[in-house]
Amino acid sequence: MRVRDALAAVRETGDFTAIQEVIPYARFMGITAELVDGDVVGRMRYSDHLVGNPTVPALHGGTLGALMESTAIFKLLWQGETTGVPKTINITVEYLRGARPEDVFARAEFTRHGRRVANVRVFAYQDDPERPAAVATAHFLLVQD
């Protein structure tokens, strides 16, 4: 299945499994998404290889960045404002507290959504969305083809 077909399937069914199937890295990381009250919620399933500090223990900071970037892309694709996979211009991740070795969730908000560029804020959390483990600000170049 091509990315485009997977996207069409996701839009039709709201089931993000198809997109995970076509993105090898999403499978490797256990990153998926689901629709909760109409909003895209990213999820990274815990696995031992995601750990960055085995002593604390805490998840690797890079994995939180990966989840947040992926969640922003999933939401942009879901909303259909970009026909192809958007290109990440930049991402800034602020780490607020260590993420425990458990599943992590993420939600994205568009702070500005233009024709070419989307400004996105993403929050990564574990059990309490009000206490995020990390927050990211990212810009994406939208693809219209």
Segment lying near other proteins (by CB under 8 A), choices 18-26, 74-82, 111-119, 120-128: 18-26
The number of angstroms, rounded, from the C-alpha of 144 to the middle of its chain's C-alpha atoms is 21
List CB contacts of 19: < 8 A, sequence separation 6 or more: 3, 6, 7, 10, 26, 33, 74, 77
The CA-atom distances, in angstroms, between 59 and each of 41, 64, 66, 92 are: 19, 8, 12, 18
Q: CB 38 → other proteins: shortest distance, Å? A: 25
> Does 100 participate in binding other proteins (rule CB under 8 A)?
no
Residue 41 or 136 with smaller CB distance to other proteins? 136
The rounded distance, in Å, linking the Cα atoms of 131 and 67 is 17
Residue 37 or 55 with smaller CB distance to other proteins? 55
Residue 35 or 137 with smaller CB distance to other proteins? 137
Task: Using CB under 8 A, pick the residue from 24, 38, 127, 144 that binds other proteins.
Answer: 24
The rounded distance, in Å, linking the Cα atoms of 37 and 65 is 24
Residues 38, 44, 46: CA angle, nearest 5 degrees: 140
Task: Using CB under 8 A, pick the residue from 15, 34, 35, 61 that binds other proteins.
Answer: 61
Binding interface with other proteins (CB under 8 A): 2-3, 22-29, 31, 48-56, 58-63, 65-67, 69-70, 85, 87-95, 98-99
